[in-house]
Structure 1
C-alpha cells in the first residue's frame, strides 16, 4: 500500500506581521560511527510576537535539541538542516529576514543573534553558569556584547535586571558566585542574564526542573509577567502538561524528533486528535478520578537511528493499522484551522481522532 499525502505547511509564515520566526523542515542529525542519529527530523514551528509556544513530549523526543538548533549551538557532530527564518530589525527600519541555518555557527552575525535577539534559559543553571566568575560578571558580559560598551552602565543594567526578576538583595548577589546561591536564586539569575539584552525571543528549556513547587510557581509567574511587560515571545519546553496549560498560547507535541500535533492550547486539551497526545492527557492525575489507576503508555521511545518506515508511534499506538501506518512517513495533516496532526486517521473519530476518546 503506497501512501502519498500533501505536506501542508502551518497556518502562517514569516511574511505575516505577527510571526517573528519560522522553522521549516528543521533537521538535526548526528553522523556517528554506528549510523545517522535523527534527533530532530523535519520539524515545522511558528513563533508569534508576544505569544508563547509550548513544546511538550517525553524525554528524548528532541525538544531541547530543537531549541539548540534555533540558536545554532548543537554540539558536534550534529548538523542542522532546513530553514530557520528570523525577522530582524523592525520599527522605523524595514525588517530583514535572515536564515539562521545558513549562517556560520561561530560567525559574527549568529553571535549577534545568540543572546541578543534570541536568549535562552538553560535547564540546569548550575551547569550553565561558570563556577569561577561572579553572577554579575556573567550577566554584564551579555550586556556588554549586545547593549553598551560602558562597564559602569552595564553593571547598573545588571543590577536593575536582577531586581526586576525578584532577586533578594541584588547588590550582594551581583558579586556572589553560583554555588553561593540557592536553586531558586540561580534560576532567577539565569532568567536575568537571558533578559538583560531585551531579546525578541526567549527560549525556556524546562526552567523549573529540580525546583520545589513553590519556587516553580514563582518562576512561571515571573516569566509570564516579564513577557507581558517586555512583549517578548517565549518558547517554553517542558514535559509537564500542567505547565503547558498555564503558560502556552500554541502547543507543539513532539515524538521521536517530529511534531505529531500542533494547535492552540485549548484545542489540545479539549479536542486532541493524535493517539500520543491523548495518551499523555490520560496519564495526568485527576481529582475527579483520584481512586482510578493512572493510564500509562506501553513501551518506550525508540532509539532514533535506522528506524523503519512509517509512523514513529506505530509500535506503541493502540490505533495502529499494519499496511497503513508502517509503510511510509506520515506528514502533518490539517484537520481544521490551526490544527495539524501527524496521523492517517486524525479526521476519523472512530479510529484516530475525537475529543472524547
Structure 2
C-alpha cells in the first residue's frame, strides 16, 4: 500500500493555540490523524474537545489570535506537477495557494448553514461564485453546473432554488444547499462539521445517505465531525475520539464499538440508550471538560476518570500508544495491562 495511493491527508502533531492575556489556550494540542481516499474518518467527542477547531486548522481558517503548528500534509497525486505533499501549515492563510485548495480540493459543510450562507445573496449566486473560482470562467456553464449539483443533492425545483435566499428555504433544504456548494467543485476531501444538527430524524437520514452516496460515487475522503455515536457507527470507517484537544483513542469503527480501551470511550458508549436496557439508568460522565488553559500535567481525563491512579495518571503527560494493530490509545492503565500481558506470554 503506497502512502500516496491511499492516504490523501496526514496531520502530524498539529496544535492550535490561542495566545491570550490570561495565558495560552490549547484548543488542539498535538493531533495525529490520517485521512484515506474514499473512506470516512469520524471525529467524536463532547462539546469543547477541539473537533471543529481541528477542521478549521485543515482549511487554515482559525480565527485570530489562533496559531497553527505542526504539519498538515496534503497528498495531491501530482496535481501541482510534483508528487511531494503540500504542508498546509506553511501556506499563507490568505495566499492564492491555500485559496485554490480551500473550497476546491478541501471543502466543508458547516454546522449551521443559516450562518454560513450570506443572507443578502441568493443560493445560486453563492454556488456559482465557488464554481467560477475553482472550475470554470464561463458563467452560463457555472449556472448549469449549479443547477445540476442542486439536483444531485435531491433539491426539488433546482432552477427556482437558485434564485431564492437562505431564509426562504427550510432547514433541510438549506443543509442540502450547503452540501451542494461544498461538492460543486468535486473536492478530494469533504469536511462535514455536524451536518445534521437541528434537523429532524427523517431529514437527518436523507442527508447522511446523500453524503455516503456521493462519497462512493466520487471516491471522496470524508471527515465527519459529530457528538452522536449512532451517526459515527453508520458513517465511519475509522474513528478518532477527542478529549481536551487530544486524540485519546483512534481505531476502526468495529473495534471502537466492540473493544474500546480508553475509559472516556467506554463511558461515552455506556451513555447510549438501548432497547434492552429496560428501566436501568444510563451511566453519566460526572464533571465537565476542563478549560484548556494552564492545565496540570497528566491525563486530561484524570479529574473525571473512575479508574485514575493518583501519582501515576497525573504525574506526566500521557502519549498515544499503539496497543494493537491500528488501535491507538492514550491511557497509562491500558498500556500497563498490555505490558503485563506481554510479560505473561
Instruction: Tell me which interval the TM-score lies in, with the shorter structure as reference length.
Output: over 0.9
- 1:55 aligns with 43
2:277 aligned counterpart, secondary structure = coil
Q: State which drifts further: 199-208 or 90-99.
A: 90-99
Q: Within 5 Å, which residues of 2 pair with 1:23-38?
A: 23-38=11-26
Tell me which residue corresponds to 2:144: 156
Which residue of 2 is the match for residue 133 of structure 1?
A: 121
Distance 1:225 1:147 in 2: 22
SS in 2 for 1:204: strand
* Residue of structure 2 in register with 1:247 after alignment: 235
Q: Which residue of 1 aligns with 2:179?
A: 191
**Runs of 5+ consecutive residues of structure 1 not aligned to the other structure:** 1-11
Classify 1:148/1:96 alpha carbon distance in 2 versus 1 (closer, same or farther; 3 Å): farther
Correspondence for 1:171: 159
* 2:331 corresponds to which of 325, 340, 343: 343
Structure with greater helix percent: 2
- Tell me, in whole angstroms, the C-alpha distance in 1 between the residues paired with 2:164 and 2:272: 40
Shift of 1:17: 2.0
Task: Report the count of equivalent residues.
Answer: 341
Instruction: Identify unmatched segments of 5+ residues in structure 2.
Output: none
C-alpha distance in structure 2 between counterparts of 1:71 and 1:96, whole Å? 19
Secondary structure of the equivalent of 2:136? coil
- 1:347 Cα deviation from its structure 2 partner: 4.1
Asked if structure 1 preserves the Cα contact closer than 8 Å seen for 2:4 and 2:75, the reply is no
Secondary structure of the residue aligned to 1:75 is coil
Alpha-carbon deviations, 1:89-111, whole Å to 9, x = none?
A: 44896533100001000000000
Aligned match of 2:309 in 306, 316, 321?
321
2:168 match: 180
Answer whether contact 2:193 2:224 (CA < 8 A) is retained. Answer: yes
TM-score by length of 2: 0.96
Correspondence for 2:75: 87
After superposition, what is the alpha-carbon deviation per residue over 1:231-274, rounded to whole angstroms, capped at 9, x for unaligned? 10000000000000000000000000000000000000000000
Q: What do residues 113-135 of structure 1 show as CA deviations (whole Å, max 9, x unaligned)? A: 00000000000000000000000
Partner of 2:194: 206
The CA deviation string for residues 282-333 of structure 1, in whole angstroms up to 9 with x for no partner, is 0000111131100000100000000000000000001101111101110101
Root mean square deviation, CA, Å: 1.8
CA distance in 2, matches of 1:92, 1:85: 14
CA distances 1:164-222 after superposition (whole Å, capped 9, x unpaired): 00001101000000000000000000000000000000000000000001100000000
SS of residue paired to 2:107: strand
What residue is the counterpart of 1:46 in the other structure? 34
Q: Tell me if the contact between 2:321 and 2:335 (Cα under 8 Å) persists in the aligned partners.
A: no
Structure 1 residues 199 and 350, CA, compared in 2 at 3 Å: closer, same or farther?
Answer: closer
Aligned residue for 2:206?
Answer: 218
Change (3 A) 1:92 1:298: closer
The 2-side partners of 1:27 and 1:94 are apart by 27
How much has 1:350 moved relative to structure 2? 10
Task: Quote the Cα distance in structure 2 between the aligned partners of 1:291 and 1:242.
Answer: 21
Alignment of 1:101-112 (within 5 A): 101-112=89-100
> TM (normalized to structure 1)?
0.93
TM-aligned CA distance change 1:151 to 1:303, over 3 Å:
same
Does residue 65 of structure 1 match 2:78?
Answer: no
| Aligned residues of 2:42 and 2:225 also touching (Cα < 8 A) | yes
Q: Partners of 1:177 and 1:255 in 2: how far apart?
A: 38
Deviation at 1:38, TM superposition (A): 0.3
Is 1:227 matched up with 2:232?
A: no
